[in-house]
Amino acid sequence: MVKLRFSRIGRKKLPHFRLIAQEKRKDQGDKSIEILGWFNPRTKEKELKKERIEYWLSQGAQATDSVHNLLIDEDILKDDKRKTFKVSKKRKAKAEKGKEEVKEQKNEETKTTEEKSAEEKKEEIKKEAKPEAIKEETKSEEKTKLENDKQEQASAEEKTAEEKK
């Protein structure tokens, strides 16, 4: 079966692709049946042989997902675009674990915020109760001060009485 696929011809970190017709089981680097054009993904430049591509498609050749999307952009094919990014099973499992961990963290955060809000409410109640407690403390402190003053006065009177004798 013939596939229409990209074959990389660009140098390191500068991709440039040829659009080729090739047997499905052959490697992209092997000899191709025909070169149908080229595509530069960095500048989005492309040159395609429309007639030859249509010929190969009429002969039953299948386009890879990336080539299929390119042919749709060039109005050679009339179809919906395909998803080109395929996720492996390991990657899917890892992503699901990550999602579960994120959910657990959010649950913990909501719990901690609920606990914080409960603590804040308790502190507010304490603050509201504190003025009364402070008033009571100040009253008791005033009483002790008055008692101390009375005792000091009494002791001072006793000293003056002793001195007079």
Q: Which amino acid is at 97?
A: K
Say how far apart CA 108 and CA 50 lie, in whole Å: 58
* Residue 6 near residue 69, CB atoms below 8 Å: no
Task: Give the CATH number of the domain where residue 11 resides.
Answer: 3.30.1320.10
Whole domain around residue 57: which residue ranges?
A: 2-73
Question: Is 37 a domain residue?
Answer: yes
Question: Is 138 a domain residue?
Answer: no
Sign of the Cα torsion 55, 58, 59, 62 reads: positive
* Residue 22 near residue 3, CB atoms below 8 Å: yes
Question: Is 27 a domain residue?
Answer: yes
- Most trustworthy range by pLDDT among 2-6, 75-79, 135-139: 2-6
Say how far apart CA 89 and CA 114 lie, in whole Å: 37
* Structural domains counted in the chain: 1
- pLDDT digit string, tens, across residues 100-135: 888 888 777 776 766 767 777 777 766 666 555 555
Residue 60's closest CA among 26, 21, 25, 27?
Answer: 21
Question: Is 57 a domain residue?
Answer: yes
